Structure 1
Amino acid sequence: MKVLIQRSYFKEGTNGALFINGQFLGFAIELPWVNNQRTVSCIPEGEHTLKARFSTKFGHHLQVLEVKNRSLILIHAANDAKQELQGCIAPVSQLTGIGKGTHSKVLHQKLVSLCYQAFDRNEHVQLIIKS
């Protein structure tokens, strides 16, 4: 399965359109590009593997693997990148500004459900990020 984020970069944050196997799913918000610096930057464009992850803080969510010079990059619910993200990615149902959106939990649950179904079918789930 392929998850694509088509990014647009801004000084205040990064917005993206989110697709699964070519079908539009919603949007993604991230921190601005700050040369891949930990906790303050979105991750570099490229291809990454997604895997299932669980924590008490985020419940069921996704981890982005193979990120150069970074670790523990997650896809989890958040509606404001600057307030709630530290280099992670948040799916949102609607964009309300740069790095901001609404109804993240709803879209996050849908994305996690689709990815977990693919994992159950022993499919490789690939995240592709490009501008």
Structure 2
Amino acid sequence: MAKVSFPQSEEIFRTAAGVVYQCNRNNCLWLEFAGGVSSFKIHELLQLKKKVEQIDVAEMASNTARTADVVILNIHRSERIFVLTLTDVLNLRELLQGTKVMLNLNSIIHDCLHAMAV
């Protein structure tokens, strides 16, 4: 896959499996994962995180049925459909959890700096 450029965007969080960028100009987050790039509003990305965390990875790992090793997710108002293996679920979960932590940290820092300026 060719390297995607996100001008005027800041990297929020990166793992070996993907990266999330924040674009203040377009008020969105860009998720680069599993060979695709998707744009999300913050609430949509958090909705995706919630759905990924609800996946029962223990059941996926232990179930021997052919259909048990793949999960299909789509998010309301998103054109992307995620077809995830067990490894993909774990990698996406890590990426989204790290992104949420970094967004929360940025918010805390912003609040502290704003409080000091007042």
TM class by smaller structure? 0.3 to 0.5
TM-score (norm 1): 0.32
When you count helix as a share of all residues, which structure comes out higher?
A: 2
Query: Which structure has the bigger radius of gyration?
Result: 2
TM-score (norm 2): 0.34
When you count strand as a share of all residues, which structure comes out higher?
A: 1
